[in-house]
Structure 1
Amino acid sequence: MDKLSKKEFGLAILNGNASAIIVALIPAALISQLLAVMPQIEIVKTLNMMVTLAQSALPLIAAFAVGYLLKFGTIESASMGLATFIASGVVTNHNGQFIISGSGIILNIMLTTLMASLVTVFFHKVLGQLRAVFEPLAVLVVGGGLGLLTLPVMVFIQNAIGKVVEAATTTAPLIMGILLGALFAILIVSPLSSVGIATAIGLAGIGAGAANAGIVTASLVLAIMGMKENSWGLFIAHFMGSPKIQMANMLSKPKLFIPVIIASAISGGVTSLFKMAGTPFSAGFGMSGFIGPITALNESSGGHLGIRVMIAFFVVPIALAFLMKYIFINKLHLVDAKDLKLPEV
């Protein structure tokens, strides 16, 4: 294990988790809407099962990604995977039966990968030649045990954020749209689960449309501002995948939140005025799999629906993204494209 600085260690935790989110959650985001409308023949059911279970593998993938970035060995990374999996919230006990469901509490997954990493470093030194035998158990019990202790706290925090979002939906439509657009833009690049919060509070209707538009705009702002520094694959991953890949950069450079919040607030307000609706599932996903626009077409009503969807989810977000790039990079020089550079995955 190479010795890393505190900053390098922290970035490895953030980047590892961000990479895991891409791998685990994007397959379902890309094809879930398509699978839902297809005839439920055996192959469609199998594909649905595959992408659903892939989401539940998030904690395992996160631990391995973090272990890779920290240059841990196979045993160390696998041991972290066990600890993170049992502390993620993916597994629940119902009358003595263990059920695997969902992708877990992302905030606790991140915290557990951090704690398990530190525990792994400790036992790597203490156990010496015996680590191949005892390290998996030691990391599982200590790292996973600590994660289980923090899990209720992280659930409480996520639910508290959900209540804030729920309160925003009781305001006037325009104000609600502005608040939800900005709030979900923040959530999508934070350790919190925007999908989990939207689902937990049953965010639907115009509020869901505004939240989705905020995420769409956040992804395009980050993609376009950093387009000179990232490959085309990573550029597309921002909006067809998830802008959460920028989480490490956002948390280490808080100034990046300024253009994201401004643009997403405007977009959320416009979407509310256009009466674009959504569901709890679509609210937290953004453009992934075109879930936002497709759901808006299905859930909204009124004339010229197709045109309103194009303006709300494509024209306005793209225009705002280029405007933010012009203002904050070209004119104010508050942001540099290098601030948004991502590691190749």
Structure 2
Amino acid sequence: MLKEEQLTFKNYTNKVLAGTASGIVIGLIANAILGGIFKALIPYGAIFETLAMIVSTMQFLTPALIGVLVGMQFKLNPMQSVIIGAAAFLGSGAYAVTDAGIVLVGIGDLVNVMIISGLAVFVTRLLEGKLGSLTLILLPIIVGAGVGTIGILMLPYVSLVTTTIGNGINTFTQLQPLAMAILISVAFSILIISPISTVAIGIAIGISGLGAGAAAVGITACTAILVIGSQRVNQSGTTLAILLGAMKMMMPNLVKHPRIVIPIVVNAVLSGVGAYVFSMHGIPETAGFGIVGLVGPIQAVNMGSELWMVIMAYFVIPFGGAVIVDILFNKVLKIYEHEIFKFVPATN
């Protein structure tokens, strides 16, 4: 039997966030690093098509991985953690029921995954020691199927959060181009370290052209700040993971240290101006990626931007700006210490 641990709402939330952050990294990093490479190598061998399919499919496991790691954060045993992973997946929206059967459609709504993981942990802890010899039979039914069903029923309402944010961002596209580029850049720079999917937002609102380019550049601006800050306090592997696309692993840091958005927003403003000046364009499918897999830069080149302009907009300005912004807010104004970028991995 577990020794019941008294948790405050803050501690409870931090554990859910820590498990979620690690689950996202584990689920998405393989495709972020290797997906584009394997797809490019498909003409050179059938094995690369299989490898591309494998790393892409691994993403669909993200909700389950999050649930398991959230359970481990609360020191639940392996069986309990796996059941919480099942509940998180079932309530995630990562699959759709069609006439042909169950079809995987993405990683689901991360906000819903977090809520269901937290609820599943609560129910599991509540039932601890009360089911006796029937635990193996009843826990999967009550927590896995039961809480998973609650997740599915909640999903349309929780998804309204993403829809509402998307509609708000969509109003920026009606503004003067420079203002639009700056505001979209800032919005996506913050969203990328929140539970909201930037890819889902980009596709949902159909953002394209300069707006999509500014969104991708804004995500890059956030990446640059996190990389510069992370390298001071984290191991090189953590910083590399952020650079390669695992920005959402810093969600707990956003909650614990909200001032982390200050350098991110300032750098996003600079980068948004860069996106406007160098006329970076994109499509809805690339708006939410930034430099992950070089999706944003490659799309800009495909849409007619010169290579040197893409390098300026996606690398020189965001990363150069990140260095300047970090010096300004850390050393000159002393608004934050680099400890706010410290990543605390999920542990058992």
Q: CA deviation at 1:31?
A: 3.2
State the match for 1:327 in structure 2. 328
1:107 matched to 2:111? The reply is: yes
In 1, Cα distance between equivalents of 2:91 and 2:72: 20
In 1, Cα distance between equivalents of 2:37 and 2:300: 15
Q: Deviations over 1:88-140 (max 9, x none)?
A: 00121123722122111111111111111111111224224432231111102
Question: What is the identity, as a one-letter code, of the residue corresponding to 2:141?
Answer: L
Call closer, same or farther: CA 1:4–1:210 in 2, change over 3 Å: farther
Contact kept, 8 Å, 1:239 with 1:286, in 2: the verdict is no
Contact kept, 8 Å, 2:198 with 2:288, in 1: the verdict is yes
Aligned 1:174-213 pairs, distance under 5 A? 174-213=178-217
Farther off after superposition, 137-146 or 60-69: 137-146
State the match for 1:13 in structure 2. 16
Q: Identity across aligned pairs (percent)?
A: 32
Unaligned residue ranges in structure 2 (runs of 5+): none
Contact kept, 8 Å, 1:181 with 1:215, in 2: the verdict is yes
Unaligned residue ranges in structure 1 (runs of 5+): none
Call closer, same or farther: CA 1:177–1:184 in 2, change over 3 Å: same
Contact kept, 8 Å, 2:71 with 2:80, in 1: the verdict is yes
Question: What is the identity, as a one-letter code, of the residue corresponding to 2:36?
Answer: Q
1:282 matched to 2:306? The reply is: no
Q: Deviations over 1:61-108 (max 9, x none)?
A: 101111122211111111111111111001211237221221111111
Contact kept, 8 Å, 2:42 with 2:49, in 1: the verdict is no
Q: Deviations over 1:172-228 (max 9, x none)?
A: 211111011100011101110011111222222221111111111111112212322
State the match for 2:228 in structure 1. 224
State the match for 1:296 in structure 2. 300
Question: What is the identity, as a one-letter code, of the residue corresponding to 1:62?
Answer: I
In 2, Cα distance between equivalents of 1:310 and 1:83: 43
Q: Deviations over 1:300-325 (max 9, x none)?
A: 33xxx111111111111112111221
In 1, Cα distance between equivalents of 2:38 and 2:295: 12
Contact kept, 8 Å, 1:224 with 1:325, in 2: the verdict is yes
Aligned 1:154-165 pairs, distance under 5 A? 154-165=158-169
Call closer, same or farther: CA 1:208–1:328 in 2, change over 3 Å: same
State the match for 1:253 in structure 2. 257
Residue 126 of structure 1 aligns to a residue whose secondary structure is coil
In 1, Cα distance between equivalents of 2:209 and 2:86: 39
TM-score, normalised via structure 1 length:
0.93
State the match for 2:248 in structure 1. 244
Residue 334 of structure 2 aligns to a residue whose secondary structure is coil
Q: CA deviation at 1:35?
A: 3.9
Residue 97 of structure 2 aligns to a residue whose secondary structure is strand
TM-score, normalised via structure 2 length:
0.93
In 1, Cα distance between equivalents of 2:73 and 2:259: 26
Question: What is the identity, as a one-letter code, of the residue corresponding to 1:34?
Answer: I
Q: CA deviation at 1:344?
A: 4.3
Q: Deviations over 1:145-176 (max 9, x none)?
A: 22122101122211121112222122221111
State the match for 2:37 in structure 1. 34
Farther off after superposition, 88-97 or 149-158: 88-97
Residue 235 of structure 1 aligns to a residue whose secondary structure is helix
Aligned 1:111-122 pairs, distance under 5 A? 111-122=115-126
State the match for 2:25 in structure 1. 22
State the match for 1:312 in structure 2. 313
Q: CA deviation at 1:232?
A: 0.8
